[in-house]
């Protein structure tokens, strides 16, 4: 009787660990795609637009949606990464000083934006 109880317990624990590893892999894939969106946004801050949105597509699949809002004191980047049926969002706030220091923008870029294309 104890043997069967021990065997059943081990089987349940194994199933839980397996399920958690699958979820972990799905989250990791969505996170990698969300990071791609963040990197895209940071590398495309040079324009004059105050806001922009972009969908990143690879191999006929949506991998990320990016929204960027420039402000006088910095920028807000929202990136949602997709993997299969999962989505994960990252919201990143960067100050103008850190963007200038890291070389993503020039000092005048955040001061002279417009709402139009």
pLDDT digits (tens, 9 = 90+) for 31-80: 999 999 999 999 988 777 789 999 999 999 999 999 999 887 889 999 99
Residue 60's domain spans which residues? Answer: 2-101
Backbone angles phi, psi at 60, to 5 degrees: 60, 25
**Mean pLDDT throughout 80-108?**
89
Domain count, the chain: 1
Q: Which residue has the higher pLDDT, 1 or 32?
A: 32
Give kind and range of the element (H or E) at residue 56. Answer: strand 51-58
34 in a domain, yes or no?
A: yes
Give dist(CA 31, CA 100) in Å, integer: 26
36 in a domain, yes or no?
A: yes
Per-residue pLDDT for 5 more than 90? no
Mean per-residue pLDDT over the chain, rounded: 83
Give dist(CA 41, CA 20) in Å, integer: 31
Give dist(CA 26, CA 103) in Å, integer: 33
113 in a domain, yes or no?
A: no
Per-residue pLDDT for 19 more than 80? no
């Amino acid at each position: 009787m104890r043997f069967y109880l021990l065997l059943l317990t081990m089987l349940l624990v194994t199933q839980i660990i397996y399920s958690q590893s699958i979820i972990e892999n799905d989250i990791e894939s969505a996170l990698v795609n969300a990071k791609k969106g963040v990197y895209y946004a940071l590398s495309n801050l040079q324009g004059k637009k105050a806001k922009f949105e972009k969908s990143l597509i690879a191999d006929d699949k949506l991998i990320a949606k990016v929204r960027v809002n420039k402000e006088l004191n910095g920028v807000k980047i929202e990136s949602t990464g997709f993997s299969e049926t999962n989505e994960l969002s990252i919201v990143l706030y960067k100050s103008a000083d850190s963007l200038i220091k890291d070389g993503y923008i020039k000092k005048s870029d955040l001061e002279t934006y417009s709402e139009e294309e």
